[in-house]
């Protein structure tokens, strides 16, 4: 399954550059020119994030403001990266132009609506969710627990709608050592064939969310499915409810194989930067943080469908 080194080149466009990422061999890094960032934030200055919350069409206006500052290939190229099985991921940031979290919401909205429509996030009651990771946590899932490894998973396992992509943006952090994102592309996983060809790979399993997610319904999903004739995956250890020892053992072995994979890579995401990934063939998680009572990190997430 493991491909030989990808042949990837830098794409120079009008107002931007898209380069192979130095953080992960499959990802790209998008760099917007400073004038583009300056003009974008200037043009959206009078639009508040509250307007984005209340008026759905304003979210597409964010994207429109951005694409009009770039050449006509930009949107197609970014969508192409997310759909392309050999990559399916990129990072892009505000380049230190702003540290205002209100502006971060606008920036992330421009990128999410460039590729599709975010799903309703029941945890926040909005199209995005902002959440913090701190020293203490009394929640009911790993999302906000700083000192334990957040195991590799896909998003949207317990919701009805398709979750084609996910976006995570770092809003800020203090006293955060460790806690890098952990990423694994399905085609890099040494044991994919074994688990994909296993009789339980297409067994329907129940997914249930804990109370904090505000999703009451159960959904049935298979661990593996095909899309464009390629294996794709749906998995998260916390919300899948196996009904036998065999199913439980399959899931446990699958999780520990991914955790142990030498292809699972830790990636830093600086403040003001976002990562977008294809959720069908990328698994993501988080390293544990080093203990510090003053630890604080704030993130924004969006998940959604392709246009
Ligand atoms: Fe996640």
Percent of the chain with pLDDT over 90: 90
If you measure from the C-alpha of residue 194 to the centroid of ligand 1, how many angstroms do you get, rounded to a whole number? 24
Provide the whole-model pTM: 0.95
Provide the domain count of the chain.
1
Q: Is residue 5 part of a domain?
A: no
Q: Is residue 260 part of a domain?
A: yes
CATH of the domain at 247: 3.60.130.10
**Residue written as token pair 């030498």:** 262
If you measure from the C-alpha of residue 103 to the centroid of ligand 1, how many angstroms do you get, rounded to a whole number? 23
d(CA 252, CA 238): 11
If you measure from the C-alpha of residue 284 to the centroid of ligand 1, how many angstroms do you get, rounded to a whole number? 6
**Two structure tokens written together for 209:** 């969310």
User: According to the model, what pLDDT value does residue 6 have?
Assistant: 60
If you measure from the C-alpha of residue 299 to the centroid of ligand 1, how many angstroms do you get, rounded to a whole number? 12
Name the CA dihedral angle for 62, 284, 124, 251, rounded to a multiple of 10 degrees.
Answer: 140
Q: Is residue 15 part of a domain?
A: yes
If you measure from the C-alpha of residue 303 to the centroid of ligand 1, how many angstroms do you get, rounded to a whole number? 9
Q: Is residue 1 part of a domain?
A: no
If you measure from the C-alpha of residue 81 to the centroid of ligand 1, how many angstroms do you get, rounded to a whole number? 20
pLDDT digits (tens, 9 = 90+) for 134-191: 998 878 888 888 999 999 999 999 998 999 999 999 999 999 999 999 999 999 999 9
Q: Is residue 157 part of a domain?
A: yes
If you measure from the C-alpha of residue 149 to the centroid of ligand 1, how many angstroms do you get, rounded to a whole number? 13
The CA–CA distances, whole Å, from 217 to 160, 211, 223, 238 equal 9, 11, 18, 16
Q: Is residue 272 part of a domain?
A: yes
If you measure from the C-alpha of residue 285 to the centroid of ligand 1, how many angstroms do you get, rounded to a whole number? 6
pLDDT digits (tens, 9 = 90+) for 11-44: 999 999 999 999 999 999 999 999 999 999 999 9
Torsion-angle region of residue 218: left (phi > 0), alpha (psi -120 to 50) or beta? beta
Please list, in sequence order, all residues whose beta carbon lies within 8 angstroms of the beta carbon of residue 103, skipping any fewer than 6 positions away. Answer: 41, 44, 94
Dihedrals phi, psi of 91, to nearest 5 degrees: -120, 155
The CA–CA distances, whole Å, from 18 to 51, 72, 90 equal 31, 15, 9
If you measure from the C-alpha of residue 143 to the centroid of ligand 1, how many angstroms do you get, rounded to a whole number? 8
If you measure from the C-alpha of residue 209 to the centroid of ligand 1, how many angstroms do you get, rounded to a whole number? 13
pLDDT digits (tens, 9 = 90+) for 43-76: 999 999 999 999 999 999 999 999 999 999 999 9
Query: H or E element: which one contains 113?
Result: helix 101-115
**Two structure tokens written together for 84:** 């392309």
Selection from 30, 20, 16, 21 nearest residue 72 by Cα:
16
Q: Is residue 4 part of a domain?
A: no
Residues at Cβ < 5 Å from ligand 1 ion? 155
Residue 109 domain boundaries:
11-306
The gap from C-alpha 281 to its chain's centroid, in whole angstroms, comes to 11
If you measure from the C-alpha of residue 246 to the centroid of ligand 1, how many angstroms do you get, rounded to a whole number? 26
Do the Cβ atoms of 254 and 195 come closer than 8 Å? yes
Interval 300-304 mean pLDDT: 98
């Amino acid at each position: 399954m493991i491909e030989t080194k990808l042949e990837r080149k830098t794409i120079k466009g009008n107002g931007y550059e898209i380069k192979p990422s130095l953080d992960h061999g499959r990802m790209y890094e998008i760099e917007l020119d400073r004038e583009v960032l300056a003009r974008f934030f200037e043009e959206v200055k009078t639009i508040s994030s509250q307007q984005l919350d209340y008026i759905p069409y304003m979210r597409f206006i964010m994207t429109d403001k951005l694409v009009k500052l770039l050449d006509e290939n930009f949107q197609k190229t970014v969508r192409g990266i997310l759909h392309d099985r050999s990559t399916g991921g990129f990072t892009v940031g505000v380049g230190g132009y702003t540290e205002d979290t209100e502006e971060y919401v606008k920036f992330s909205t421009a990128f999410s609506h460039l590729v599709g429509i975010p799903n309703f996030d029941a945890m926040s009651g909005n199209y995005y969710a902002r959440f913090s990771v701190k020293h203490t946590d009394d929640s009911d899932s790993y999302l906000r627990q700083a000192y334990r490894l957040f195991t590799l998973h896909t998003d949207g396992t317990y919701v009805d709608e398709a979750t084609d992509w996910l976006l995570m943006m770092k809003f800020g952090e203090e006293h955060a050592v460790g806690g890098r994102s952990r990423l694994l592309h399905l085609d890099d996983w040494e044991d994919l064939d074994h688990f994909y060809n296993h009789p339980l790979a297409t067994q329907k399993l129940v997914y249930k969310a804990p109370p904090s997610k505000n999703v009451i319904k159960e959904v049935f999903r298979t661990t593996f499915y095909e899309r464009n004739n390629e294996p794709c995956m749906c998995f998260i250890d916390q919300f899948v409810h196996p009904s036998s020892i065999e199913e439980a053992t399959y899931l446990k072995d699958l999780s520990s194989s991914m955790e142990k994979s030498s292809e699972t890579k830790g990636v830093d995401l600086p403040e003001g930067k976002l990562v977008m990934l294809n959720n069908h063939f990328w698994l993501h998680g988080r390293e544990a943080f080093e203990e510090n009572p003053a630890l604080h990190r704030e993130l924004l997430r969006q998940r959604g469908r392709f246009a």
